[in-house]
Amino acid sequence: MKNTIRVQRAIKNITQAELADLVQVSRQTINTIESGKYVPSTVLALKIARVFDTSVDNIFELEEGD
Judged by the rule CB under 7 A, the positions of this chain that interact with DNA are 9, 15-17, 24-29, 31-35, 38-41, 43-44
20 binds its own copies (CB under 8 A): no
Compute the C-alpha angle 10/22/51, nearest 5°: 55
8 Å CB contact between 32 and 3: no
CA-to-CA distance for 24 and 46, rounded, in angstroms? Answer: 13
Least Å distance between CB 54 and DNA?
19
Least Å distance between CB 1 and DNA?
9
Q: Which partner, DNA, its own copies, none, binds residue 66 by CB below 5 to 8 Å per kind?
A: its own copies
Three-class SS of residue 60? strand
